[in-house]
Amino acid sequence: MTATAPPRRAPEAGPGSGKSAAGRRLRPRVIERIRQGGLPYLLLLPAVLAELLIHIVPMFFGILISFKNLTLFYIHHWNTAPWAGFDNYKAAVKIHQPIGEALLHSFWVTLSYTLLSVAFSWLLGCAAAILLQDKFRGRGLIRTLFLVPYALPAYAALITWTFMFQQDTGLVNHVLHDQLHVTSSKSFWLIGDNSFWAMVIVSVWKSWPFAFLALMAGLQNIPRELYEAAAMDGAGVWQQIRKITMPSLRPVNQVIVLVLFLWTFNDFNTPFVMFGQNPPHQADLISIHIYQSSFINWNFGSGSAMSVLLLLFLLVVTAIYLLVTSRGRSENDV
């Protein structure tokens, strides 16, 4: 009560006491209101403005362009491009027409790439985090080494992989063919069917340290007493992982899987550095596909429509994922 007393007393001075007096009364009131409820919004304002300028406004124009027939003929005065209505969307979803068929192929390639990459990244990260949970000599060094892919500049790492995958002179074929004699001939990794697997390998290599890092942090929060009690009750390592580690890591895993899924589904760097702007058919990720439509074929309307469709798909997937995972967690909490 004492805290709110001064602003309540201020109006009692009554009207007619002059502008300067009103100003003097108003200023503390505004400051107090800001202090009571507005301060968080004030602090958020720069971020909101930045979000508007950097994301929302360009996204608005991106959506606008998706309804226009914006090709190279109109790029100099893009706002004069003729209205296309839903034509760009229709072309994108007509899966028996060339544009739709190519987009659908690209979608399946991307989905396969994403699921495999996320699955292997999570498995590797999880295994490494659990193995490095207990203290032993050299653990810090190994942890640091595991994080190297995450710390390296993406372009440098990817171009190095490209060199390693070269058919004639690459390290991969040198090891597989020349040293281990696993393959009968030197395989192609940057063209043809193997290009997809080359891309998955590189993606897993650069993604799993993130899973490792997040899971390692999650493991630190699990009380050691739980393991000690379980061990005393006769639970083995595998049972401890199933009954203690995994349930405790559930919130962390939800974030890891969602973030890795979104990152990998939108991955542009990996195919672009490995294959250039025209990747093999087998490695035609949707991000490159949209880039080609927009910036190589100069059909920005079509590219924007595809982007919006991709955005909607990711929104739906994310919503379903969060609903399912949060429901499961709530039930567990009960």
Q: Both tokens of residue 75?
A: 């790029």
Between the CA of residue 26 and those of 6, 43, 145, what are the distances in Å? 12, 22, 60
Q: How many residues bind other proteins (CB under 8 A)?
A: 63
Decide if residue 183 touches other proteins (CB under 8 A). no
d(CA 62, CA 155): 27
Decide if residue 86 touches other proteins (CB under 8 A). no
Nearest to 161 by CA among 153, 150, 147, 172: 172
Decide if residue 61 touches other proteins (CB under 8 A). yes
**Rounded least distance, CB 287 to other proteins, Å:** 6
Decide if residue 172 touches other proteins (CB under 8 A). no
Nearest to 217 by CA among 246, 243, 242, 249: 249
Decide if residue 166 touches other proteins (CB under 8 A). yes
What x-and-dash track marks residues 269-308 binding other proteins by CB under 8 A?
A: -------xxx-xx-----x--xxx-xxxxxx----x--xx
| Among 26, 50, 52, 72, contact with other proteins (rule: CB under 8 A) | 72
Decide if residue 63 touches other proteins (CB under 8 A). yes
**Rounded least distance, CB 164 to other proteins, Å:** 13
Residues that bind other proteins (CB under 8 A): 51, 55-56, 58-59, 61-63, 66, 71-73, 75-78, 97-99, 102, 166-168, 186, 188, 190-193, 258, 262-263, 266, 268, 276-278, 280-281, 287, 290-292, 294-299, 304, 307-308, 310-311, 314-315, 318-319, 322-323, 326-327, 330
